[in-house]
Amino acid sequence: MNATVRDHAGRWRVAVTGMGVKTPAGCDLSTFTDTVFAGRPTAAKVTRFDVSGLASQIACEVPGFDAEAYVSGKVLRRMDRCTQFGFNAALDALADAGSPTVEPERAGIAFGSSYSGLQSAYEASTTALTSGARFVSPFLSTMIMSNAPAAYLGLELGWHGPSATLATACATGTQILNVGAQMIRNGECDLVLAGAAEANCQLLMATFSTSGALSTRNDDPSVASRPFDDGRDGYVMGEGAACLVLERYDRALARRARIYAEVAGGAHTTDSHHISAPHPEGRWTGRCMAAAIADAGLLPADIRQVNCHATSTPLGDVAEARALLAAFDGAPPPVTGSKGVFGHLLGAAGAAEAVVSVLSAGNGLVPPTAGHSRLGPDCAGIDVVTGSVLNVGTGPVLSNSFGLGGQNASIVFLPGGAGLGTADPCARRTNRGGAT
């Protein structure tokens, strides 16, 4: 069987040929890359709505977002901010891929969000209470439906292949990428737009602040998000979207596309432990990592680095640290936490971190974990990269996302152009300075 066509399990291989972002770290790929790999935090005082009275008053908001550059004002008024983020990021990703032609019946869309349309629902509820129900917009139902981003993309592109919408809390972004990859692996599609979006709003800030989940370092937001740090006290809200163009590998080669990376494997598990707290030993998150690595046809020792979920919460980070130790037999590779830079994008977090992982796989650099200064003793045993980038050599990257309700998802990326079974992606890492 031709190694350029099928993977180790006989499935169609999946290339990443385009990426688009609308995030606090940047609304274009170049700015996003610079911000993440420089480890520049983006948290600041919330400006979009009133947060007075809340214990947490900081967030990572998307700067310079110009939705009107992509869609007319009439249509824009019918889109929630979450849909705007996702729609625009997806079109950027498609352009980044070279706007490939594809049979409409062979093109799919896989998109997700945890709280799609919540701000619009909140504003409509306020209108109904203050002015009367007859003043609620007739377009509200389509503004708040979960599949709005996928539906608008379908309308824009005229595609007729499968369309999937997913909501698995903070695991959404990673899980929907696995779903999109599966559409190609099983022969349903030749190309898939896969990503996730989330927009911060007053209700989300209120509920997460009153629950004690958010950092209260309002006076020093730049170090409020502290993944795996001894002083972590909660996460920082983020928002935005990220989208990847997934394409059948041989098709991408045939059109001489730039291949950023390959989606080599993925997995999902469920804690079934607590509605909001992870399993304290990370039992099922560890198994999720191990299953994703095995699905990629790799061994734990093949993974060069891990982009962690690392929300900066006391319970979540320690559970992930323990899961890493279990999945990697007590010796995990260097890890990073991107939320130190752009906050927690909730359902979109895994998609944005996938972009970081794809870039990391190709350049062999682990971005620094912003906000991290001293490893928490409860996270002992893991190697958190901080201060500046670390060169570990190009190779497989594992990215994790874990959500409320015990939803777990992991995905493995290989650097672009690397074939499974070749020496490079499976080369053993023997020192911190780089590849063997």
Question: Does the pLDDT value for residue 433 go beyond 90?
Answer: no
Question: What's residue 3's pLDDT?
Answer: 55
Active-site residue (options: 279, 309, 379, 426): 309
- Cα–Cα distance for residue pair 53/206, rounded to 1 Å: 9
Question: What is the DSSP code string of 356-421?
Answer: HHHHHHHH-EEPP-TT--SB-GGGTT--B--SS-EE--S--EEEEEEETTTEEEEEEEEETTPPTT
What is the rounded average pLDDT for all residues in the chain?
A: 93
Question: What's residue 388's pLDDT?
Answer: 97
Question: Does the pLDDT value for residue 421 go beyond 60?
Answer: no
Give the DSSP H or E segment for 291.
helix 283-295
Number of helices (H), then strands (E), belonging to the chain: the values are 13, 15
Question: What's residue 48's pLDDT?
Answer: 93
State both tokens at 201.
Answer: 């709003």
Confidence tier at 315 by pLDDT (50, 70, 90): very high
- Cα–Cα distance for residue pair 249/22, rounded to 1 Å: 26
Backbone angles phi, psi at 64, to 5 degrees: 60, 30
Contact yes or no for 307/421 (Cβ under 8 A): no
Residue 201 annotated in active site: no
pLDDT digits (tens, 9 = 90+) for 250-287: 999 999 999 999 999 999 999 999 999 999 999 999 99
Question: Does the pLDDT value for residue 22 go beyond 80?
Answer: yes
pLDDT digits (tens, 9 = 90+) for 385-409: 999 999 999 999 999 999 999 999 9
Average pLDDT value for residue range 173-198: 98
Question: Does the pLDDT value for residue 425 go beyond 70?
Answer: no
Question: What's residue 254's pLDDT?
Answer: 95
Question: What's residue 424's pLDDT?
Answer: 34
* Per-residue DSSP letter, 39: T
Which amino acid type is present at position 401?
S
pLDDT digits (tens, 9 = 90+) for 188-246: 999 999 999 999 999 999 999 999 999 999 999 999 999 999 999 999 999 999 999 99
Instruction: Look up tokens 């929300």; give the residue.
Output: 311
Question: What's residue 427's pLDDT?
Answer: 34
What Cα–Cα distance (Å) separates residue 160 from each residue in 25, 184, 191? Answer: 33, 15, 12
End-to-end CA distance of the chain: 29
Length of the chain: 436
Contact yes or no for 56/81 (Cβ under 8 A): no
- Cα–Cα distance for residue pair 154/172, rounded to 1 Å: 20
Question: What's residue 10's pLDDT?
Answer: 94
Active-site residue (options: 27, 60, 82, 170): 170
Using a 10 angstrom Cβ sphere, with 0-12 exposed, 13-18 middle and 19 or more buried, the burial of residue 245 is buried
Average pLDDT value for residue range 139-144: 95
Question: What's residue 74's pLDDT?
Answer: 86
Give the DSSP H or E segment for 18.
strand 14-22
**Residue spans of alpha helices (H) in 158-271:** 172-185, 202-210, 249-254
> What's the pTM value of the predicted model, to 2 decimals?
0.94
pLDDT digits (tens, 9 = 90+) for 326-372: 999 999 999 999 999 999 999 999 999 999 999 999 999 999 999 99
Contact yes or no for 413/420 (Cβ under 8 A): no
Higher-pLDDT residue of 418, 280? 280
Average pLDDT value for residue range 33-56: 97
Active-site residue (options: 60, 201, 308, 344): 344
CA–CA–CA angle 198, 51, 275 (5° rounding): 50
**CB within 8 Å of 418: residues ≥ 6 apart:** 262, 394, 424, 425
Residue 27 annotated in active site: no
Contact yes or no for 305/366 (Cβ under 8 A): yes
**CB within 8 Å of 143: residues ≥ 6 apart:** 78, 79, 80, 83, 117, 120, 137
Question: Does the pLDDT value for residue 2 go beyond 80?
Answer: no
- Angle of helix 349-363 relative to helix 29-38, nearest 10 degrees, comes to 80
- Cα–Cα distance for residue pair 225/232, rounded to 1 Å: 7
Domains and CATH numbers, the chain: 14-415 (3.40.47.10)
* Antiparallel, parallel or unpaired: β 397-403 and 407-415: antiparallel
Dihedral sign for Cα 193, 367, 415, 172, please. negative
Confidence tier at 73 by pLDDT (50, 70, 90): confident
Confidence tier at 249 by pLDDT (50, 70, 90): very high
Which amino acid type is present at position 135?
F
CA–CA–CA angle 161, 167, 169 (5° rounding): 150
Average pLDDT value for residue range 75-93: 96
Instruction: Look up tokens 């990673």; give the residue.
Output: 174
What Cα–Cα distance (Å) separates residue 123 from each residue in 130, 154, 429? Answer: 11, 27, 52
Residue 344 annotated in active site: yes
**Residue spans of alpha helices (H) in 148-261:** 148-157, 172-185, 202-210, 249-254
Question: What's residue 417's pLDDT?
Answer: 64
* Antiparallel, parallel or unpaired: β 240-248 and 191-198: antiparallel
